[in-house]
Structure 1
Amino acid sequence: MTDTANSAAGGREVRLARVPAGPVTAGDFRLAEAPAAAPGPGEALVGLRMLGLNAGLAGRLGVHAATGGRGGVDVGGVPESDALVEVLDPNGLPGWAAGDPAVVQWAPWRERFAVPAGALRPAPVRDPGRAAENLTVLGHVGFTAFIAVHDIARLRPGERLLVSAAAGGVGAHAVQFARALGAEVVGVAGSAARVALLEELGAVGVDRRAGDLAGSLAAAAPDGVDVYLDAVGGEMLEAGIDLLRDGGRVVLMGAAGESGGAPRPPRNYKRMIHHELSMTGFTVLAHEDRRAVFEEIVGGWLAAGRVRPVATVHSGLAAVPGAFADLMAGAGTGRTIVDLR
């Protein structure tokens, strides 16, 4: 990891150029010169090295569109994502030295910036050749998948899990974690290539774009599923509820399929009464006390070769707008990452 520019300069940043009127495009963003990055008391200066992109950001593109406890991004504002950074100037912060890799949960799309000490977390993987693991299997999407499958669903060996958006950043790791826990998995994805990935990861893959989603799910799990992990909402949530066995559990972690309109309750919610189903939502940021357990368990699976990082990697800050547009269009597999090293 190197930083060839003056570390006090802000470098470049990506700003929101306009609020998308429809599907997100690269033209909704623009590159600009960033302000100088000078750390204040209790802050360190860091350089952006890898940026993880999150589909949930789309719901915050507009000052009045706030979700997940974060404010909307106004035109001219700089979006934020979780990121791997390098400490350029620790500015006297205890325990930090220049060159240390760290993870920041809310990093601006900017080459260099100051960050408070409390927002810096040591990177679990320091090997530069394995840097992407900090934003995938051991990063934000991995942590989300672990909390959903291990803590909220309490998935048990021999149970069957249905995962929506299963070839995405959270989904591809949830599939692997469920398999590591001894469960069967049915994964839903949006292309033949993504279904092929799911089958490589040990799941039964269902292509939601192939038509007759309910029939395809019934064929993949003729006797139903025990847990449904939902990141989509809408029709997919209804299909998951229909597939649950008695006493089944739904874990809600997103509603990407309803981002373009008003949310509506599932038409089949009464099935939850008659079949004693449960539905639990969660936000991963409320489970930070579980991170050490997550890193120990998943780190062990990783070392044993039972799980692996899944990502689509782009290069350079200028690639961020297009990478985010591709993510929202369903391109690629696993986590979408931009490598700035």
Structure 2
Amino acid sequence: MAFAREVHVRSYPDAAVGPEHFEVVEVPVPTPAEGEVLVRNTWTSVDPGMRLRLRPHAPEGYFTAFELGRPMDGVITLGEVVESRAEGFAVGDTVWHPFGWRTHAVVPAGVELMNGAATLRRLDVTDVEPQWYLGPLGAMGLTAWSGLAVVDALKGGETLWVSAAAGAVGSLVAQIGVLLGHRVLASAGTDAKVAWLRDEVGVAGAFNHRTQPLAPTLRELAPEGIDVYFDNVGGDHLEAALDAMAMHGRIALCGSVSDYEGEAVGPRNIFLATAKHLTLQGFRGSLHIGVMEEMQRRLGGWLRSGELVQRETVYSGLEQAPRAMADMLAGRTVGKTLVRLA
């Protein structure tokens, strides 16, 4: 009998995530039924939002919590079809699906998965790196693009602040902002990340939020105010943004990573949203599948021309996935965090 491996959640972390909260389990390689394919996974994703599912109850309206002692469904993954019983899929096809953190998965064809963001799909990898479909050509690109779209920031020409701007989504938003003609301000958690944003991405201003105070730095970089804020952090960053926003500014609420492993801290100055006539728009990329084709066309062109780059931190082997998550949440990774499985 052939065996596969999969990561199970052993316990929900009370604070920081660590390898002790997971276990790697050996199981028989599954057999596909009619209308299904067997995929040997090659790349799997590690995303900040997964932390919200490592608790007994995920936030209302979000994807469900990971079950203890079960494989982790709802993690977008790339792989190669090794057995097909579904029309339209052949052995050797590269596909994406939402059954990651395991070496093999049986995936149904023609079934909407993760609001359509991870429905089984054949991928054209002729002239792109396959793992780009876990970054700029997949959910991360969709989140970045749709987040700018929902706050009407795809026209360019404004002052845009991006927090966590060296992360998987933030690094794309910062680059897209520059390419669209925004005056981009970017914050990150290390001097090396700041240097990349300033010297290679070409943002107008970048700073280390761990060593430079948010409010004074934003006043210095944007004395006339910020038009658009792409929020990946929440907490003190959102509070500083409310202070720094120009009248009629717009805020895209993408993530709140500052709250994921500690007590949530909301902004104390929320009335400024009223005083300044601000728009605060929460969104999830998976609910904006309608812009996927446009996003892939625009970002794919920039990737092929070299104007847009995917920065990535790669871990090798399924057993490294828990460490990859811990490192990502602690700010020790750059760009998209990935695990190479084969």
State the number of aligned residues.
Answer: 331
Structural mapping, 1:214-293, within 5 Å = 214-261=215-262, 263=264, 265-293=266-294
Partners of 1:327 and 1:236 lie apart in 2 by 19
The question of whether the paired residues in 2 share the 8 Å contact of 1:101 and 1:126 is answered with no
What SS does the aligned partner of 1:248 have? strand
Of the three residues 91, 102, 125, the one matched with 2:95 is 102
Q: Unpaired segments of 5 or more residues in structure 2? A: 111-118
Partners of 1:122 and 1:283 lie apart in 2 by 23
Structural mapping, 1:1-341, within 5 Å = 9-66=2-59, 69-80=62-73, 81-91=75-85, 93-104=86-97, 106-118=98-110, 119-127=119-127, 130-199=129-198, 200-203=200-203, 204-261=205-262, 263=264, 265-341=266-342
Q: 1:110: how far off?
A: 1.0
Q: 1:68: how far off?
A: 5.1
Q: Provide the TM-score with structure 2 as the length reference.
A: 0.91
What SS does the aligned partner of 2:81 have? strand
The question of whether the paired residues in 2 share the 8 Å contact of 1:10 and 1:111 is answered with no
Q: Which residue of 2 aligns with 1:3?
A: none
Cα distance 1:124–1:227, how it changes in 2: closer, same or farther (>3 A)?
farther
Task: Letter of the 2:100 partner, please give it.
Answer: P
The question of whether the paired residues in 2 share the 8 Å contact of 1:149 and 1:177 is answered with no
Partners of 1:212 and 1:299 lie apart in 2 by 36
Partners of 2:195 and 2:24 lie apart in 1 by 36
Partners of 2:42 and 2:239 lie apart in 1 by 40
Q: 1:83: how far off?
A: 1.1
Partners of 2:142 and 2:189 lie apart in 1 by 23
Cα distance 1:66–1:275, how it changes in 2: closer, same or farther (>3 A)?
closer
CA RMSD, Structure 1 to Structure 2 (Å):
1.8
Partners of 1:329 and 1:227 lie apart in 2 by 26
Partners of 2:107 and 2:178 lie apart in 1 by 37
Partners of 2:3 and 2:226 lie apart in 1 by 51
1:77-128 deviation per Cα after TM superposition (whole angstroms, max 9, x unaligned): 222411111111121x222111111111x2231111101113212224345x
Task: Letter of the 1:120 partner, please give it.
Answer: L
The question of whether the paired residues in 2 share the 8 Å contact of 1:125 and 1:131 is answered with yes
Q: Provide the TM-score with structure 1 as the length reference.
A: 0.91
Task: Letter of the 2:281 partner, please give it.
Answer: T
Cα distance 1:153–1:238, how it changes in 2: closer, same or farther (>3 A)?
farther
1:150-187 deviation per Cα after TM superposition (whole angstroms, max 9, x unaligned): 34433332211101111100000111111111111111
Identical amino acids, percent of aligned pairs: 36
Compare 225-234 and 147-156 and name the one that shifted more: 147-156
What SS does the aligned partner of 1:108 have? coil
Partners of 2:27 and 2:267 lie apart in 1 by 45
Task: Letter of the 2:106 partner, please give it.
Answer: A
Partners of 1:166 and 1:39 lie apart in 2 by 41
Q: 1:232: how far off?
A: 1.4
Compare 11-20 and 215-224 and name the one that shifted more: 215-224
1:204-230 deviation per Cα after TM superposition (whole angstroms, max 9, x unaligned): 211110042211222222222110011
What SS does the aligned partner of 2:65 have? coil
